[in-house]
Amino acid sequence: MGMDLGQRLRQARLEANLSQRALCGEEITRNMLSRIENGAAKPSMKTLRYLACRLGKPVSYFLEETAVLSPNGQVMESARRLYDEGKYDQAALALESYRSPDPVYDREKVLLWVLARLGQAEAALRQGKELYAQNLLEGIDTAGIYCAEALERRRLLLLGQVSGEPRAAAGLPSLDEELLLRAREALAENDPSRAARLLDAMEVRDSPRWMLLRGLACMGRKEYADAVSCLRLAEGSFPEQAIPKLELCYRELKDYQNAYFYACKQKK
């Protein structure tokens, strides 16, 4: 198996009898060079040209035979830096110099463009520029990009801050999974009232798991009759969790016949 780019860089550096510090100069940090040599990072074309020049090798020496060169390395490097600095307008402007198609950076470019636009819209809303923010947000298409669902949720939440845009909420994904997780956390922290509020805010309130957690929340609030109603509906799917709790609830309700029944079920 042939060497990858990082391995070739390391071999060329050792052949030139250069330390990492000597090779880096002021163009690149030792940490970044170490990551490149270990295959944990890829250099931009600008950085690769610098390293190749320092090592007295052509750029092609470090590239695999099937490697695809990109004309957009410097554009992407600049856009990333500007985005990381919170300069969203400038990041979006830098991406206007991007040349398509580019199999190396096309997907990252679209993601970075969406992130920059969202950052611009968020800043515009803080400044009271609602119309500008609305135009930015309505011009964003998150379909098919990395983290599309999370980015679309963020876009719709920002769009919902624009006056007269109540329609944005219709496209938001359900929060049920998050609410269910938070309810479990509340029960673990011995806060059944908070757990009940979280569960009642869910859209789907008839699943066995919902019934189990709602029953546990009712138990924590000493609402044993309501707890029994929920736990009975959860019993088939979660017998190990529901049956012992049903015994306890019936004991609290002084229904000893059913308490005995569920005590016996645990021994089977």
Residue 40, phi then psi, degrees to nearest 5:
-90, -10
Question: Which DSSP letter does residue 145 get?
Answer: S
Q: How far is CA 76 from the centre of its chain?
A: 22
Per-domain residue ranges of the chain: 5-62, 73-171, 176-267
Q: Which CATH superfamily is domain 176-267 in?
A: Tetratricopeptide repeat domain (1.25.40.10)
The domain defined by 73-171 folds into 1.25.40
Q: Which overall architecture, per CATH, does domain 5-62 show?
A: Orthogonal Bundle (1.10)
Q: Are 5-62 and 73-171 the same fold in CATH? A: no
* pLDDT tens-digit profile, the chain (268 residues): 457 888 888 988 898 898 998 888 888 898 988 988 898 888 888 888 889 888 888 887 787 654 556 778 788 889 999 999 999 999 999 999 998 888 878 999 999 999 999 999 999 999 999 999 999 999 999 888 889 989 999 999 999 888 766 666 777 888 999 999 999 999 999 999 999 999 999 999 999 999 999 999 999 999 999 999 999 999 999 999 999 999 999 999 999 999 999 999 887 6
**CA 130 to mean position of chain CA atoms:** 27
